[in-house]
Amino acid sequence: MSAQDMKKEIPYKIYISENDMPKAWYNLRADMKNKPAPLLNPETLQPMTYDDLRPVFCDELIKQELDDTTPYIEIPDEIRSFYKMYRPAPLVRAYCLEEKLQTPAKIYYKFEGNNTSGSHKLNSAIAQAYYAKKQGLDGVTTETGAGQWGTALSMACAYLGLDCRVYMVKVSYEQKPFRREVMRTYGAQVTPSPSETTEVGRAILAKHPGTGGSLGCAISEAVEAAGNLGNYRYVLGSVLNQVMLHQSIIGLETKIAMDQYGIKPDIIIGCAGGGSNLGGLIAPFMGEKLRGEADYRFIAVEPASCPSFTRGKFAYDYCDTGMICPLAKMHTLGSGFIPAPNHSGGLRYHGMNPILSQLYHEGYMEATTVKQTEVFEAAEYFARVEGILPAPESSHAIRVAMDEAIKCRETGEEKTILFGLTGTGYFDMVAYEKFNNGAMTDYIPGDEDLAVGFAGLPEVNL
């Protein structure tokens, strides 16, 4: 710790007090001049109305999904009480990392891995489960890829006494038995996807026997299952605007903590799968930028093997492989895109949240890609220096934060870098094992690979 920092008394970890915890989520759309494009009905290709969405989603969540104007949406007391079990999340000054990198940059990370489900996904899981319960539903269905969302939702549903059915991408189901068992321990029913339990699943199995599945396909199955079960609705852990709204808790807490110590980040970095943690972290800062009150550099980091922002098209696309979910206008690789099987770093979804897609389209944020071996190098470096074993997803952000700090070493600039450390990697040891054995490879899809996904984009003339 430098003498100057000692004087400013910036603690290693900043926890805001319970009284200072946000009482409302921040809806970034309210400050956007150009709103994200509306969701479209997959059959009529007309904008989805509240009534169109009611068979699939919970009523209150639809209102949040469609609300482009209310800047602050109150967090119900029950959700705030649950948040208090594992929040505030610490904002950590990475003193050890700075010293090891010999950088004049100041590095902060917001750590979301301090709950049993292991990631930020619990922030939205509890909100979605709460509104489902309040509506009197019997349960919810969902999909999970790497397993964090399913775990978070299982935990939230157990707390509220709701039934939880999880369609888990088959490769993960087989490679991550411990994730699966955590979900079952919390009382969820877990089915490998594609499965024989749905029409979509059976169709995909007939076409691609032996497939390891994909998120888009598991989504289709979960949506169909919710319809078949009756008093159930489907919930989703990323991509949707409501999820980004709930995740604004990350950025709001961070902003409060930084303001208390007079810290202003120059660069804000987050990994991007469907965009929820990144969107949540940057929300209040981006709000300031949109209102012309402050400026920041925002960097989305995605895997080179699933480059939705950097190589995707900004177009209407299906959110799922089965093409039964609404269409969203977003940066997408096409709903038929399935990342290479050697990709173990998470963040495998083909599309990106519509709010972030719109902002990226307008130049308010940057995006970059990293290869998975570079990501795991950074993960291991970080684990050895800062002690935390990071999730592979989070390590995309670590990689770029370290790269930016190294640039500062070269230029001598004392920039303040903030990144989102979204979770822990305890359940990702198969991927770490591959890396430690030197068996991890990088795969970057060629333009011809991406063309296959783009060919499946629907034609939408609005």
Ligand X SMILES: *Cc1c(COP(=O)(O)O)cnc(C)c1O
Q: Which residue has the tokens 């007090």?
A: 17
Q: Which is nearer to ligand X, 32 or 239 (CB)?
A: 239
Considering the complex, state which of residue 220 and residue 394 has its C-beta at the smaller distance from ligand X. Answer: 394
- Compare residues 321 and 422 and give the one whose CB is closer to ligand X: 422
What is the edge-to-edge ordering of all strands in the sheet holding 139-144? 189-193, 163-169, 139-144, 232-234
In the shown chain, the binding pattern of residues 203 to 242 toward ligand X, with x for contact by CB under 6 A and - for none, equals -----------------------------------x----
Neighbours of 312 (CB within 10 A): 26
In the complex with ligand X, the residue whose CB is nearer, 198 or 238, is 238
Selected binder of ligand X within 391, 398, 402, 418 (CB under 6 A) = 391
Q: Can you spell out the DSSP letters for 435-457?
A: HHTT--------HHHHHHHHHTP
Does residue 150 touch ligand X according to CB under 6 A? no
Write down the least CB distance from residue 179 to ligand X, Å: 11
Structure tokens at 270: 């987050």
195, 220 contact by CB (below 8 A): no
306 touches ligand X (CB under 6 A): no
- Structure tokens, 377: 């190098």
Does the protein bind ligand X through residue 368 (CB under 6 A)? no
CA dist 130 and 379 (Å) reads 34
Instruction: Assess 324 for contact with ligand X (CB under 6 A).
Output: no
Q: What is the dihedral of CA 360, 45, 241, 167, to 10 degrees?
A: -110
Binding-residue total with ligand X (CB under 6 A): 18
Does residue 274 touch ligand X according to CB under 6 A? Answer: yes
- What is the crossing angle of helices 241-260 and 354-361, to 10°? 70
- Of 272, 359, 388, 417, the one binding ligand X (CB under 6 A) is 272
Query: Token digits for 259?
Result: 């303001």
Query: According to the binding rule CB under 6 A, does residue 423 interact with ligand X?
Result: yes
The single residue among 22, 88, 273, 354 that binds ligand X, judged by CB under 6 A, is 273
Options 64, 148, 175, 372; binder of ligand X; rule CB under 6 A: 148
* Cβ-proximal residues to 304 (8 Å cutoff; 6+ apart), any chain: 369, 370, 371, 372, 442, 444
Nearer to ligand X, 276 or 369 (CB): 276
Regarding 365 and contact with ligand X (CB under 6 A), the answer is no
Q: Is 347 in the site for ligand X (CB under 6 A)?
A: yes
Neighbours of 447 (CB within 10 A): 8
- Nearer Cβ to ligand X, position 109 or 263? 109
51-53-54 Cα angle (round to 5)? 65
Q: At its nearest, how many Å lie between ligand X and the CB of residue 199? A: 27
Q: Which of 60, 317, 393, 404: binder of ligand X (CB under 6 A)?
A: 393
Whether 347 contacts 302, CB under 8 Å: yes
Give the nearer residue to ligand X in terms of CB position, either 10 or 402.
402
**Residue number with CB closer to ligand X (52 or 425):** 425
Q: Which of 168, 422, 435, 453 binds ligand X (CB under 6 A)?
A: 422
Under the binding rule (CB under 6 A), the answer on residue 277 touching ligand X is yes
Nearer to ligand X, 93 or 246 (CB): 246
CA 3 to mean position of chain CA atoms: 37
Query: Nearest-CA neighbor of 175 among 202, 141, 144?
Result: 144
**Which spans of this chain sit near ligand X (rule: CB under 6 A)?**
119, 121, 148, 238, 271-278, 347, 391, 393-394, 422-423
